[in-house]
């Protein structure tokens, strides 16, 4: 019978010897692997840093370039806009965290300063327009995508900023008050968006097959509790009707 390494005490010792050298060899190999990986990572990091520093100005000022850059980063699983905490060296290389925070502050500024006019609901394109005006020309152009990203970055602050998508591929609204909008309110907002801001009870009843009470309830909540719509008591041909207007869905020219 042939046992591993033969029989007897000498064989046992021989076996232990060879195990030991296998161990050493494996250590050596994995060290080489790790070193190799480190080197590759360094190379990757350097290349990215070089790319980032080289194109920093473009990334910050050109929305199309920024979009392409973000797509690239997303596909390799890095988030350049994660902010100082998560971004680390990446963030330092780019300085995009600052850019993102600045945009966030400007978004909050616009949302808060228009709140008494719209009750904390603003159309996304209107928000982009007002933020752009606030940034001036030197700030560089920004897109809806940038604003949506910034709003997502605001989420951990628990401020209740949220992008509402009506799913019709068209309008999006940004809510800046920490109130949940229920389903009925979303329906009213979507209809208001179609009607240049105007809704009335009859229309809601007919369109959604709601009861009168249901239409009344959602409108009165929006009007009295949330301040997200305005009352008009001079509606209709006789000037005596009641209609409701959602300022976030109205088209302002100024």
Partner 1 sequence: MNLSTYKTASGFLLPSIHSAPPFFTQQPNTATQAGFTEQWTRLLLAYARHRRLFTLRLEDAEVPGGEWDEVLRNPRINRRLMPNHLAHVLDVMVSKDLAVYEPAKQMRAVLLYWRSPDEWADVLHEWATNTGQLNTILTFYEISDPPVPSALSGIPESLLRGAIAVLAKSGRAQLISISDGDGVRFFPPRTK
In terms of CB distance, is 46 or 196 closer to partner 1? 196
Residues 6+ apart with CB under 8 A from 112: 176
Rounded CA-CA distance 254/251 in Å is 9
Contact assessment for residue 151 and residue 162, using Cβ atoms and an 8 Å cutoff: yes
Q: Does 99 bind partner 1 (CB under 8 A)?
A: no
Alpha-carbon span 56 to 166, nearest angstrom: 35
Stretch that binds partner 1, among 1-9, 44-52, 155-163, 245-253 (CB under 8 A): 245-253
Contacts (CB under 8 A) with partner 1, residues 117-176: 117, 119
State which of residues 233, 240, 248, 249 lies at the interface with partner 1 (CB under 8 A). Answer: 233
CA distances for 136 relative to 78, 117, 133, 141, angstroms: 30, 23, 5, 9
Site for partner 1 in 190-219 (CB under 8 A): 196, 198
Q: Which helix (H) or strand (E) covers residue 116, if one does?
A: helix 115-118
Q: Which stretch binds partner 1 (CB under 8 A): 2-10, 26-34, 206-214, 229-237?
A: 229-237
**Cα 68 from Cα 55, distance rounded (Å):** 12
Nearer to partner 1, 59 or 222 (CB): 222
Residue of 109, 48, 51 lying closest to 76 (CA atoms):
48
Selected binder of partner 1 within 166, 203, 210, 230 (CB under 8 A): 230
* Smaller CB separation from partner 1, 106 or 228: 228
Least distance (Å) from partner 1 to the CB of residue 75?
41
* Least distance between partner 1 and beta carbon 234 (Å): 5
In degrees rounded to 5, what are phi and psi of residue 161? -70, 135
Where on the chain is the footprint of partner 1 (CB under 8 A)? 116-117, 119, 196, 198, 223-224, 227, 230-235, 239, 243-245, 247, 250-254
């Amino acid at each position: 019978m042939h046992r591993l390494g033969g029989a007897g005490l000498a064989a046992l010792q021989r076996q232990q010897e060879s195990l030991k050298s296998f161990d050493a060899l494996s250590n050596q190999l994995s060290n080489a692997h790790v070193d190799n990986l480190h080197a590759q990572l360094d190379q990757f990091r350097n290349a990215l840093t070089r790319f980032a520093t080289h194109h920093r100005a473009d990334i910050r000022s050109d929305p199309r370039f920024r979009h392409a850059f973000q797509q690239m980063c997303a596909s390799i699983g890095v988030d350049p806009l994660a902010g100082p905490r998560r971004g680390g060296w990446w963030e330092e290389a780019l300085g995009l965290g600052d850019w993102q925070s600045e945009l966030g502050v400007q978004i909050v500024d616009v949302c808060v300063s228009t709140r008494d006019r719209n009750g904390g609901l603003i159309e996304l394109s209107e928000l982009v327009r007002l933020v752009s005006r606030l940034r001036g020309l030197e700030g560089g152009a920004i897109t809806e995508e940038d604003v949506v990203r910034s709003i997502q970055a605001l989420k951990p602050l628990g401020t209740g900023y949220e992008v509402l998508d009506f799913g019709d591929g068209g309008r999006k609204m940004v809510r800046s008050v920490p109130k949940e909008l229920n389903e009925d309110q979303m329906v009213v907002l979507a209809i208001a968006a179609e009607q240049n801001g105007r809704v009335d009870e009859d229309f809601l009843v007919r369109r959604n097959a709601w009861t009168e009470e249901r239409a009344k309830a959602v409108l009165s909540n929006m009007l009295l509790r949330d301040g997200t719509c305005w009352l008009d008591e001079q509606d209709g041909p006789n000037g005596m009707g009641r209609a409701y207007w959602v300022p976030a869905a109205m088209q302002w020219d100024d």
